Structure 1
Amino acid sequence: MTEISKIGMEGAPLGRAPRISQLGTAAKVALAILVAILLLTAIAPWIAPHDPLLMDPLARLKGPSLAHPLGTDNFGRDLLSRIMIGGRLSLMIGVATACISVGLGLVLGLIAGFFRRADALIMRLMDALMAIPSILLAIALVALNGASVGSVIAAITLPEIPRVVRVVRAVILSAREEPYVEAAISLGSRTPLILFRHLLPNTLAPLIVQGTYILASAILAEAVLSFLGAGVSTETPTWGNIMAEGRMFFRIKPELILFPGLVLSLCILSVNLLGDAARDMLDPRLRKSAR
């Protein structure tokens, strides 16, 4: 068997998996901040100092104290507890959006990149979706389906799918011209085997990077929708809802927006820094240039 046939049977050679020790200082700090936020929101129901929905009119708009480390809102609810509990739903929407958009975009990108007949139809549909401003599309979908977690996830996911499709399609169009793929085709390998054994591994690195950016974008989009009143129900604490409720009292108590906004910003910044670090580690050309 010739060398090209061996490559065609075994697929593309895979490099060594990147390690956390290879992260830069900024990426390590970002990872520590993100892990801390995830941990605090995950165990929030057990460590939150107060019930985030408990109203105390006598304690409304109070400053930081031992009982309320970050103060209270206009209904007397503990701000720290609401930020911790609200982060659970905000992060869940971000993770769900990233997983769904990456999954659907991967399937459509594989089909568009490998099957020429389906390429035109899929890409024209993706171009049509990208022509609509994402926030306006999300507001329209939420307005049509009502304010719920499922509607918000669907509204944020739909504009993200075309970006994933275009990335995967570009990778597949390039990879299908590689010798090992041509060897697999010439040897009569079945289409599913070519797609999932020879082409799919090439998409993993860009998908991981794209997934981190979608995660950060989805968390921010949920906050924007909630701030505009088009997100989940206002009774449900999320970072966006907390800031939306505090905007009426910004002049007298700016921390109602500053504290949740700071946590939101740190979370998004950490995810973006980790996405940049993942891109640098997974792209061999960037690894070589950094040496």
Structure 2
Amino acid sequence: MTGQTTTVAPRETISPFAKVRDIVLSSPIVMVATALLAIIVLAAIFAPWIVPHDPVRLTPSVRLKPPNEEYWLGTDAFGRDLFSRIITGGRISLVIGVGAAIAAVAAGLLLGLLAGYIRWMDALLMRMVDGLMAIPNVLLAIAIVSLWGASLWTVLFAITIPEVPRVVRLVRSVVLSAREEPYVEAAIAAGSSTWLIMRRHLVPNTVAPLIIQGTYICASAILTEAILSFLGAGINPETPSWGNIMAEGRIYFQINPGIVLWPGLVVSVAILSINLLGDAVRDALDPRMAQRGIDR
């Protein structure tokens, strides 16, 4: 009996970007969310060139105007164009969201690597992390802003600090699992330095979960900035941001509800879109999700 050799075609390797693209295109909801987020981001980037009016110019003669041909979303209590202020305010809110995500991921990655790989630092760092996580995010942010004063950098720092512990715990859990792998033990036996092992063998394992966590931190930071500004503990009130616009308009809500509703709607759409995109990234980068797709 002649044996037959079965040739298995090599499985095509798909890049993470292509996986995310396929998931976005396969889901109408995620596709719409991605398009809306792109519109918000592009509008914020090109705000100086697309806003029809100066967002900080005071025009008392047209205060609290309803939406019309000149003022698409109406005006606020000082006669400033609401549409222009919302578009311009997106620059501050998105910078804080993206900046907090990058800073929290960077700090959490470093501390998580140290806690997960260097055993004697684990107990010390994790007790500090547990202490920070015991304080509600908004209360800790308000305390930091109250001590150092309201400014863009202070608010960014105040929002970043409460997010770091969550990243630390995530990275630590990944490192604790990865450091027991044979290739890490082989690197240790070969005499590789601690930092080389971290950079070459441990950090690549944290990339996918950190990207996913970063999207959630970005959405959370945008919401926290809006809350802080709404409570009067955010950035300078003269600087337009989504939270500041809502805070200034709450007194006149019954006269012109749009002052609060329109920026609130933009905040909701931005946060929902970022979370949906984060879910798509998770589905693309999670090996278990990929295995389910193969099984189907």
Measure, in 2, the Cα distance between the counterparts of 1:116 and 1:199: 15
Q: Is the 8 A contact 2:249 2:259 kept in 1?
A: yes
Measure, in 2, the Cα distance between the counterparts of 1:275 and 1:126: 24
Match of 1:56 among 56, 59, 64: 59
Query: In the alignment, which residue of structure 1 is the partner of 2:80?
Result: 77
Match of 1:151 among 154, 157, 165: 154
> For residue 127 of structure 1, what is the amino acid of its counterpart?
D
1:55-74: CA deviation from partner (whole Å, max 9, x where unpaired):
11111111111110110011
Match of 1:35 among 38, 43, 60: 38
> For residue 151 of structure 2, what is the amino acid of its counterpart?
S
> For residue 213 of structure 1, what is the amino acid of its counterpart?
Y
1:204 maps onto 2:203 in alignment: no
Query: In the alignment, which residue of structure 2 is the partner of 1:21?
Result: 22
Query: In the alignment, which residue of structure 2 is the partner of 1:264?
Result: 267
Measure, in 1, the Cα distance between the counterparts of 2:157 and 2:91: 18
Measure, in 2, the Cα distance between the counterparts of 1:288 and 1:266: 31
In structure 1, runs of 5+ residues without a counterpart are 1-13
> For residue 96 of structure 1, what is the amino acid of its counterpart?
G
> For residue 37 of structure 1, what is the amino acid of its counterpart?
I
Query: In the alignment, which residue of structure 2 is the partner of 1:166?
Result: 169
Deviates more, 1:22-31 or 1:152-161: 22-31
SS of 2:38 mapped into structure 1: helix
1:251-285: CA deviation from partner (whole Å, max 9, x where unpaired):
12111111001111000000000111111110010
1:68 maps onto 2:71 in alignment: yes
Q: Is the 8 A contact 2:23 2:280 kept in 1?
A: no
1:251 maps onto 2:254 in alignment: yes
Measure, in 2, the Cα distance between the counterparts of 1:71 and 1:250: 13
Deviates more, 1:199-208 or 1:278-287: 278-287
Measure, in 2, the Cα distance between the counterparts of 1:186 and 1:27: 46
**TM-score of the pair, normalised by structure 2:** 0.92
Q: Is the 8 A contact 1:50 1:78 kept in 2?
A: yes
Q: CA deviation at 1:29?
A: 1.6
Query: In the alignment, which residue of structure 1 is the partner of 2:145?
Result: 142
Measure, in 1, the Cα distance between the counterparts of 2:78 and 2:68: 16
Query: In the alignment, which residue of structure 2 is the partner of 1:190?
Result: 193
Q: Is the 8 A contact 2:171 2:206 kept in 1?
A: yes
Q: Is the 8 A contact 1:18 1:282 kept in 2?
A: no
Q: CA deviation at 1:289?
A: 2.2
> Deviating runs (4+, > 4 A) in structure 1?
none
Query: In the alignment, which residue of structure 2 is the partner of 1:121?
Result: 124
Measure, in 2, the Cα distance between the counterparts of 1:150 and 1:143: 13
The Cα RMSD (Å) is: 1.2
Measure, in 1, the Cα distance between the counterparts of 2:17 and 2:179: 25
Query: In the alignment, which residue of structure 2 is the partner of 1:218?
Result: 221
Q: CA deviation at 1:15?
A: 7.3
Measure, in 1, the Cα distance between the counterparts of 2:80 and 2:74: 8
Identity %: 60
Measure, in 1, the Cα distance between the counterparts of 2:46 and 2:14: 37
Deviates more, 1:181-190 or 1:52-61: 181-190
1:94 maps onto 2:97 in alignment: yes
**TM-score of the pair, normalised by structure 1:** 0.93
Q: Is the 8 A contact 1:250 1:256 kept in 2?
A: yes
> For residue 253 of structure 1, what is the amino acid of its counterpart?
N
**Residue correspondences, number:** 278
Match of 2:110 among 91, 107, 111: 107
